[in-house]
Structure 1
Amino acid sequence: MPSLEVFGVAAGDPDPRARRRLIDGARGGALLRLMPGRYVVRSAFDAATEHERHRARIAAVVPAVGPGLVISHESAVAMHGLPWLGPFPEHVVMLDPKRAAGQRRAHVQKVGAAGRALQAERIGGCDVTPLCETAVDIALRAPFRTAIVVLDAVLARGVPRDRLLAELRQRTPRPRSSTRARRAIEFADGLADSPGESVARLTWAEEGFPPPALQREFRDGRGLIGRVDFWFEDAGVVVEFDGLVKYRDRDMRGGRSPEQVVVDEKFREDRLRALPEVRAVVRVTWRDVEPGGNGPERLERAGVRRAV
């Protein structure tokens, strides 16, 4: 798990110049202070992913908090490497079994967990809520779309839906939160292969389209063409979510140039369009499936009808 180096001056260090160098480095912009006494190199932080940045905040905070706390919610998402929409918070979220109510400080949000049977697993030397508990925590308080992205990924990692529902039943949230979390768990699908696919599926459901089949395989006389992201069978429409990562990420390109990836995708689409059951192939991007995007209109133009 890639990480940023977090450093500071050891407690009791007799050299005041060491502390002064860190303070001056932060004032000059070379360093970024994550919390009192804990720093990272700003250029490395700016170049890091959201997950790496938040894990750096966790590494800075954990040594300063008391024992018995468990990293949870958004912070547990970062530790597990689960997908997330948007930035992580600038504070670290932790469960506190000694508190009935929450407490917020500048760098830590303690969530009251008195009476909750806490479970934890060790990740990077820290106690973190397991996947199932993390997913339910997110389902109970994150925006619905964000919860779906996390739940889809947790199901894909092998956590059964029944286990998520059982974990939800053990909680005592407000009825509205519980109902929304249950809806999210029941809607989630581990076959979604990326956050973009999760958001696209939810967008179309909210717009009244029938649920598509996910990761459907297609073959022709030459053999396997591949798996498509979405298949609206009644309309004969294939939809592929194009997150552009396949063109930019060297590992995902498998040694091919971005130009060759485009050519290969074109040939793949031609083979799909040649199948008698496929009437149209539609490619969508993040812009199409975000609020206000034209993804729903593109589905309709391709022949996918909204459910009555």
Structure 2
Amino acid sequence: MTRSGSDPSGSNLSRIGTPSDPSDAIILASDLGNAFGVDFRLRRESSRGRLQRVSRGLYYPSARWEQLRDDQRYLIRVRGAALTRRGQVVLCHQSAAVLWGLPMLVGWPSDVHLLIERATGGRSDPGIRRHALGVDARDVTTIDGLSVTTIERTVVDLAATLDLKSAVALVDRALYQDRFGRTPTLTTKAALLATVERMLPFRGSRRARAIIQFATHLSGSPAESSSRVNMALSGFPEPELQHLFVVDGKERESDFYWLEIDGVGECDGKDKYFTPDYLAGRSPEQLHYDEKLREDGIRRQVHGFTRWPASVGMSQYPLRRRLLELGLTPGPQRVLRGLEHPKS
């Protein structure tokens, strides 16, 4: 499905980071007309297990629903809510994030988030959360015909409100620059900070600015972002990200490198070994073997090497133990003191 929109400079967005969109199978009761019994028949199909009732008036084939990821299910909920609302609505916060293909460490909400004018108030219906923050035309673009907050406004809104690790992972993804050109770059740190300044004053502005400053375009995954947050909270020295080694004549990147101890840290999630983007046509077994050769080549060139799964990267104290074993010495917390939980 083609997506279009506009960035702050006015250029078209021909490709963005949206998840694979399964919206072609959405069934809306309103599309079937006002014939008596339409909703009854849909509910009956739902009770028989053929349709999944996603929300009021929104259904989806059960067999396909079971195969969807959580982000795809939330995307269907968001599209359905937007298509059934009267008048134009602006999707924001997590509902904009799923359209931009941003990660959500804590899982996707059940509510659909809408941005509305301040004067209209923030009262919400079941399944709909309204944010009466005002609608600035500079903060609105379109994706697949849906009005949505721009990548900059979406990121700033969530940096001000999400938990720390989720916020950093989301900003890192928005900034990410893939040197192989496989993943689109969505925005820049300068654009995000300019959006913060233009939106002032707003609740969470200090927090959003600090998280954006801490964020990087070099983090390769949410697990790496979480690891970096926990390193900072534990006071470990800031690592060099994506440090290059030459292994068998080819450049290979490492997730984290500390010159002071000549040590490397690697963070892995299982997605690395099973998703098509990472496999690139290889079997999981071949990828495991290629990773072993890369790791062996790096190990030969450094004093210390450690690897941890995403679950350890998400947890401050298990990761702290790994890095102490590597030889790092913690000091004062870096940058993120007091930002662990957003103020309500």
TM-score (norm 2): 0.82
Are 1:3 and 2:22 counterparts?
Answer: yes
- Quote the Cα distance in structure 2 between the aligned partners of 1:34 and 1:244: 29
- Quote the Cα distance in structure 1 between the aligned partners of 2:188 and 2:272: 29
Other-structure match for 2:195: 167
Q: Residue type matched to 1:284 in 2?
A: W
1:115 CA drift (Å): 6.6
Assess if the C-alpha contact under 8 Å between 1:230 and 1:239 holds in 2. Answer: yes
Aligned residue runs from structure 1 range 198-209, under 5 A: 198-209=225-236
Aligned residue runs from structure 1 range 31-180, under 5 A: 31-97=51-117, 99=119, 101-114=121-134, 116-156=136-176, 157-173=185-201, 177-180=204-207
1:168 CA drift (Å): 1.1
Assess if the C-alpha contact under 8 Å between 1:99 and 1:113 holds in 2. Answer: no
Other-structure match for 1:218: 245
Assess if the C-alpha contact under 8 Å between 1:69 and 1:97 holds in 2. Answer: no
1:78 partner SS: helix
Assess if the C-alpha contact under 8 Å between 1:8 and 1:22 holds in 2. Answer: no
- Quote the Cα distance in structure 2 between the aligned partners of 1:292 and 1:153: 21
Assess if the C-alpha contact under 8 Å between 1:83 and 1:195 holds in 2. Answer: yes
1:300 CA drift (Å): 0.9
- Quote the Cα distance in structure 1 between the aligned partners of 2:34 and 2:124: 32
Out of 3, 10, 13, the position equivalent to 2:33 is 13
Out of 256, 276, 281, the position equivalent to 2:282 is 256
Assess if the C-alpha contact under 8 Å between 1:225 and 1:268 holds in 2. Answer: no
- Quote the Cα distance in structure 2 between the aligned partners of 1:268 and 1:12: 56
1:259 CA drift (Å): 2.1
Out of 331, 336, 341, the position equivalent to 1:307 is 331
Assess if the C-alpha contact under 8 Å between 1:72 and 1:93 holds in 2. Answer: yes
Other-structure match for 1:239: 265
Other-structure match for 2:254: 228
Assess if the C-alpha contact under 8 Å between 2:279 and 2:287 holds in 1. Answer: yes
2:139 partner SS: coil
- Quote the Cα distance in structure 1 between the aligned partners of 2:116 and 2:215: 29
Assess if the C-alpha contact under 8 Å between 1:100 and 1:113 holds in 2. Answer: no
Q: Residue type matched to 2:29 in 1?
A: V
Assess if the C-alpha contact under 8 Å between 1:225 and 1:271 holds in 2. Answer: no
- Quote the Cα distance in structure 2 between the aligned partners of 1:248 and 1:298: 25
Q: Residue type matched to 1:3 in 2?
A: P
- Quote the Cα distance in structure 1 between the aligned partners of 2:239 and 2:326: 14
Q: How many percent of aligned residue pairs carry the same amino acid?
A: 28
Unaligned runs of 5+ in 1: none
- Quote the Cα distance in structure 2 between the aligned partners of 1:299 and 1:31: 49
- Quote the Cα distance in structure 2 between the aligned partners of 1:284 and 1:12: 51
Q: How many residues align?
A: 304
1:211 CA drift (Å): 0.8
Q: Mark the CA change 1:279 to 1:33 in structure 2 (over 3 Å): closer, same or farther.
A: same
Assess if the C-alpha contact under 8 Å between 1:68 and 1:96 holds in 2. Answer: no
Q: Mark the CA change 1:202 to 1:15 in structure 2 (over 3 Å): closer, same or farther.
A: same
1:34 CA drift (Å): 2.5
Assess if the C-alpha contact under 8 Å between 1:213 and 1:230 holds in 2. Answer: yes
Aligned-CA RMSD value: 2.1
- Quote the Cα distance in structure 2 between the aligned partners of 1:272 and 1:11: 58
Are 1:191 and 2:218 counterparts?
Answer: yes
2:281 partner SS: coil
2:60 partner SS: strand
1:232 CA drift (Å): 1.2
Out of 261, 279, 292, the position equivalent to 2:303 is 279
Assess if the C-alpha contact under 8 Å between 1:99 and 1:111 holds in 2. Answer: no
- Quote the Cα distance in structure 1 between the aligned partners of 2:135 and 2:26: 34
TM-score (norm 1): 0.91
1:27 CA drift (Å): 2.6
1:292 CA drift (Å): 5.5
- Per-residue CA deviation, residues 193-236 of structure 1 (Å, 9 max, x unaligned), is 1111100100111111011011111125x422401111111111
